Chains A and B, each alone.
Chain A
Amino acid sequence: MTSVRLERISAHYGAARVLDDITLAIETGELMALVGPSGCGKTTILKILAGLLTPSEGEVFFEDRLVTNVSAERRGAAMVFQKPLLFPYLSVGENVAFGLHMRKVARDETRRRVREALEWVHLAGYESRRPSQLSGGQEQRVTLARALVTQPKLLLLDEPFSALDESLRAGMRLLVRELQQRLGITTVFVTHDQMEAAAIADRIALVFDGRLEQCAAPRDFYTAPATLRAARFFGWTAISANRGTIAFRPESVLMDKASGVDSSDESFDVAVVSFLDLGTRLLLRVRFDTGEELELELDPSQTDDRRALSPGARIRLRVPHSAQRRFP
């Protein structure tokens, strides 16, 4: 259990700069999600935290101890990779015991801790199985146990569930969150999926092109994104308006019925492109005068006149002031 600090980290692969001046503090026992599109530098940050890469500039601290040049094997940051990477020539029990074996932990203690770690991931009694006998979800649970059993100062997860199907992913997310909280392990979780990040993390660090775009609680990204790119990444719709760009969440859009209009609400005249009545909601595709198109879901109570929504019809949409963000 350790607080972790990255200070002014930059990294290069050859001539290409992949990280640019990243400063980030992760609190003790916190689960921080690193989110961003593919190739934005998330995994590089993780490898720098693990000690697998040395930054070209900047420092890494665990608590107040400078660890920038401490090698991965001595740093105490266990990493779970995208692929399970179970050693195929070892049994499940031997795989989980690997880190303890490397540190020459006594045999009895190793056996006890391996049993306990397998219980954490609901695989008690699997010690003698071969990795080839496990399902994808079980394999990733074993890798989680293999990392946790070493009692790492920092747990690093690099898109560990990306190869699993959605129903398994949800369960794995819950398991990671539950164990992380129970054991109080400071954790960094890399994902390109903003929903996954919001579901699991205490805070999210959003990375674009090797720079930290915003670091905040998940809710803030849905209510107050700091930049237009952050807003777009978290599902906001952006429309060019007079005086810059206006962003809003598609679910906050209302049909303008001229009543209860706040003068600061933004209104748009749009053309209906297509329309589906799904009973409990109306699915609408509209085209703005700027040519941009947008898919919307409206509450059926907003209009009784379905003909007004037929393709080609013009309607007026309103975005309440409280649900908009303006960006220059």
Chain B
Amino acid sequence: MHPRLRLTLMLAPAAAVIGGLFAGGLGLALVQSLGYFPPTGERSFTPAHYARLLSDGEFAASLALTFALASVATLISASAGLLAALALRELARRRPVFHTLLQMPLALPHLAMAVAVINVIAPSGLIARLAFAAGLIGEPADFPALVSDRYGIGILVAYVLKETPFIAVMTLAVLLRIGDEYEQCARTLGASAWQRLRYVTLPLVAPATVSAALVVFAFIFGAFEVPYLLGRPYPAMLSVIAQRRYMSTDLAERPEAVALAVVIAAVTGVLVWAYARLARAFAGGERPVLF
């Protein structure tokens, strides 16, 4: 059998699943978002649902919140993860068990983290009760609203707690792989501790940290369960609005909900493209040029 044909046949089952479920689903969503939705009798294509989204105040507020929360959570997680990796490097080199310990939070589902955050920082949570017991607040309900709050602080806390170990693990793996010879070499060339961090260590781990941060941003941008549990109804994150409208008894809201999901997918798609581009540039030892 011709090698190409053989390869195609071997890949066919996997390609069928990915093509059918993922690409098919995405295609169907695109078609629906453009107005083709037979259950409500709409069979023509129109950009009207996108236009309505753009003029919708809730969408604008939600997009701003989603973007801001994803950016801030990514920035904090990346900084904290990088610092944690640098701090734990020596320990992890001598005692590999620390590397394993750091990986454990990765196995925790986001849903569990959301519940944990409620248990700790909600007005009925552990901290509020401790503050009450210590006489800092009159009653637990006086505790500032950190869950279902206007700024999405609960969501932010859950994501930072969940994503910091992820970025730390990715960065630490690179730090352990490159070893300390680059820094020793820089020392003999006259680089001080600060110069080694600035000109050697950070540029060497940047590909891993930046790639991990992009993945985190894309994930938070589209994720649903944490903002669903820890957010407030208005403004809600994009995924929550999409779900609410999709589940609405009014079928006419369905195409708009799907259009929202397509927007999320498009943003994620751009990030995946940027990620691939970054990874390729770093692998070739080039300065990444993104745009």
The contact of A89 among B184, B187, B191, B287, by CB within 8 Å, is B287
- The answer to whether the Cβ of A285 comes within 8 Å of any Cβ in the partner chain is no
Which residues in B have their C-beta under 8 angstroms from that of A87?
182, 199-200, 203-204
Contact B285 A147 (CB under 8 A): no
Assess the A156–B188 pair: CB atoms within 8 A. yes
Q: State A88–B187 Cα separation when bound (angstroms).
A: 17
10 more A-B contacts (CB under 8 A) besides A72-B187, A72-B188? A50-B188, A73-B188, A77-B188, A87-B203, A89-B206, A89-B287, A99-B190, A130-B285, A147-B189, A156-B188
Q: Complex formed: what's the CA distance from A249 to B231 in Å?
A: 85
Q: Which residue of B lies closest to A72 (CB)?
A: B187
A98 interface residue (CB < 8 Å to B): yes
Give how many B residues have a beta carbon under 8 Å from the other chain's beta carbons: 21
Please determine whether B186 and A98 come into contact, CB atoms closer than 8 angstroms: yes
Q: Check if B286 sits within 8 Å of A130, measured CB to CB.
A: yes
**What total count of A-B pairs have CB within 8 Å?**
75
CB pair B190 A79 closer than 8 Å: no
Check B203–A78 contact: CB distance below 8 A: no
B residues at A contact (CB < 8 Å): 181-182, 184-192, 195, 199-200, 203-204, 206, 284-287
By a CB distance below 8 angstroms, the chain A residues around B287 are 89
Chain A residues with CB under 8 A of B206: 89
Q: How far is the CB of B178 from chain A (nearest CB, A)?
A: 10
In the complex with contacts A130-B285, A132-B284, A81-B181 CB distance below 8 A: yes
In the bound complex, what is the Cα–Cα distance between A71 and B183 (angstroms)?
13
Question: Would you give the shortest CB distance from B171 to chain A, in whole angstroms?
Answer: 16
Which residues of B have CB within 8 Å of A102? 186, 189-192, 195, 199
Which of chain B's residues has its CB closest to A146's CB?
B189
Contact call B285/A73, Cβ cutoff below 8 A: no
Q: Which residue of A lies closest to B200 (CB)?
A: A87
A243 CB within 8 Å of chain B: no
Q: Which residues of A contact B186 (CB under 8 A)?
A: 98, 102
Contact at B200–A52, with CB atoms within 8 Å?
no
B188 touching A78, Cβ below 8 Å: yes
With both beta carbons as reference points, the residue of chain A lying nearest to B185 in the complex is identified as: A85
The docked-state distance in angstroms from the alpha carbon of A84 to that of B286 is: 17
**Can you name 15 A-B pairs with beta carbons within 8 Å?**
A50-B184, A73-B188, A75-B188, A76-B190, A77-B188, A85-B181, A85-B182, A89-B285, A98-B186, A99-B190, A102-B195, A130-B284, A131-B285, A132-B286, A150-B190
Interface assignment of A83: CB less than 8 Å from any CB of chain B: yes
Docked CA distance A98–B189 (Å):
7
Minimal Cβ-Cβ distance residue in A for B190: A102
A103 part of interface (Cβ distance < 8 Å):
yes
B205 → chain A closest CB, angstroms? 11
**Docked pose: A76 CA to B204 CA in angstroms:** 25
What residues of B have a CB within 8 angstroms of the CB of A77 in the complex?
Answer: 188
Q: Select from chain B the residue with minimum beta-carbon distance to A53.
A: B184
By a CB distance below 8 angstroms, the chain A residues around B189 are 78, 98-99, 102, 146-147, 150
Which residue of the partner chain, among A83, A88, A103, A156, contacts B190 with CB atoms under 8 Å?
A: A103
Question: Which residues of the other chain, B, contact A156 by a CB distance below 8 angstroms?
Answer: 188
A117 to chain B, nearest CB (A): 13
